[in-house]
Amino acid sequence: MRTTGTTGTTAATCASGTTYAALPAPASADARREPGEIFGARFTLFADMLAVGVATTVASLPLVTAPAAMAAACTVLRESVRDDRPAGFGRYVDELRAQTVARSVAAGLAVIAAAVLLGFDLLLAGAGLPGARAVSCVLAAVAAAGLVVGLRAVSDPELSRGRRAAFLRAAHRAGADLPGSLLVLVAAGVCAVLVWMLPLLAVLAPGALAFAVTAVELRRGAAPRPCDPAPAGSPEPLPSRSRGKDESR
């Protein structure tokens, strides 16, 4: 597929020689700025991330609601980036309510139980038992893998339809997209270090983490496949220049 561009428009030509009608090019952040707006869309997205972080922290206070709170944060930020929808507190509350209460609490209890079991194993490994160092390394690897899969699972757009299926898809993506999994792990580590250095950032860290995970998932799924069939309602394909020359001959 070859893409040609003019001022403010883009056109795509497939290998078959079919050229699709020119479409408006995505506007830049400055072009989307409203008259009188000082900061622009990028600062608005940053403010949305901070607001979502505060809402996620408040919603995660019971601990068992932490997975549902992170899932709502990822959904709100994903729609803010992809669909340009406002990410206000009301929107976050609506997404949080959309999560099934029983399944959300069950997922939260499972996360807490896994964390407690892992911490207990680490305490036993640090008690001077034989092979404690190897056991500690294995447990750390298991914890990192579980954290990555869990974060990628809560960012799944189809999470509300089935958490088990979302977890399996997240595990598959974590293994198939190792660079993305590394980015998620680094983002979690950076958030942990920032909270350790300045505990007040704990209120905002969930928003930054949710935004990082959402960006990783959008990075994986945003690239269009070459020469996909035109969706319903799209402009009709135009004959390419080469085809017009052949017909004239």
Confidence band, pLDDT 50/70/90 cuts, at residue 8: very low
Phi, psi dihedral angles at 200 (to 5 degrees) = -65, -25
Q: Say whether pLDDT at 39 is over 50.
A: no
Number of other CB atoms surrounding residue 165 within 10 Å: 13
Mean pLDDT, residues 83-104: 78
What are 171-225's pLDDT values in tens digits?
999 999 999 999 999 999 999 999 999 999 999 999 999 999 999 998 866 433 3
103 contacts 93 by C-beta, under 8 angstroms:
no
What are 150-161's pLDDT values in tens digits?
999 998 888 878
List of long-range contacts for 148-153, beta carbons under 8 Å, 24+ apart: 148/174, 148/181, 148/184, 148/185, 148/188, 149/174, 150/67, 150/111, 151/70, 151/184, 151/188, 151/209, 151/213, 152/181, 152/184, 152/213, 152/216, 152/217
H helices, E strands: number in the chain: 9, 5
pLDDT, greater one: 176 or 29: 176
pLDDT, greater one: 210 or 28: 210
Top-confidence range, 39-43, 68-72, 99-103, 239-243: 68-72
Give the pLDDT confidence score for residue 101 in this predicted structure: 65
Ramachandran class of 216: left when φ > 0, alpha when ψ lies in -120 to 50, beta otherwise = alpha
Mean pLDDT, residues 62-70: 88
Q: Say whether pLDDT at 58 is over 70.
A: yes
Q: What is the mean pLDDT of the chain?
A: 75
